[in-house]
Amino acid sequence: MKGYVQVYTGNGKGKTTAAFGQALRAAGAGLRVFIAQFVKGMEYSEHKAMERFSDLITIKQYGRDCFINREPTEKDIRAAKQGYDDVAEIIRSGDYQMVILDEANIAVYYNLFSARDLVALIDMKPEDLELVITGRYADPIVLERADLVTEMLEVRHYYHQGVEARKGIEK
C-alpha cells in the first residue's frame, strides 16, 4: 500500500484529534503506529484511550509539562532534537506503517528544528509509510510536499469566553 503525507494545520480545533482518529483507524486495520508529540509533555485523555491499543500504537512525548507559548528554553530545544532523532530512526526502521508528528509544525514555528529538517523526514519516508504532521503555522515548503492538506479554521471558540480546557474534550 502506498503511503502519503497528510498535514493538519490552521488555527481551529481538531488537528491532533484528526491525527489520533487516523491512528485509531490504522490500529483497527492492524497497522502499527508511532506518535511523536512535540512541545507536549502533559498527559492527555487520548493517551489513556490509546493504552488499549499499546500493542499497535506507541506514543512518545518530546516536550515539557507545558505547551510552548513563549520563547523556547534550551530544555525545549533538547527535547525536540531528541524527538527529531528518534523519529528519523523510527522512519528508517520500517517497524511502523504510520508515523504521526503531532505539533511538528509548532516545533518548526518556535525554531526547535527547521522546516528543512521536517522536509528531510518527509524525504526519508519509505514508499509504504503514511506520515501525518499536525500543528498550526505549517511552513509553505511542508505544505508543498504534502499529498493532503486540511486547514482547520476557527470560526468561533468558547475558549474566548473564558472556558478552560475540559477533561475528555480538549485535554
All three cell numbers of 47: 493517551
Lowest mean pLDDT among 61-65, 125-129, 166-170: 166-170
Supply the pLDDT for residue 122: 98
Per-residue pLDDT tens digits for 67-83: 556 788 889 999 999 99
C-alpha 140: how far from its chain's center?
17
CA distance 100 to 131: 6
Which amino acid is located at 96 in the chain? Y
For the chain, the first-to-last Cα distance in angstroms comes to 33
Q: Which of 8, 12, 7, 9 is nearest to 153 (CA)?
A: 12
- What is the reported pTM? 0.91
Per-residue pLDDT tens digits for 127-168: 999 999 999 999 999 999 999 999 999 889 887 888 888 777
pLDDT at 170 over 80: no
CATH no. of 5-161: 3.40.50.300
Supply the pLDDT for residue 87: 98
Supply the pLDDT for residue 34: 98
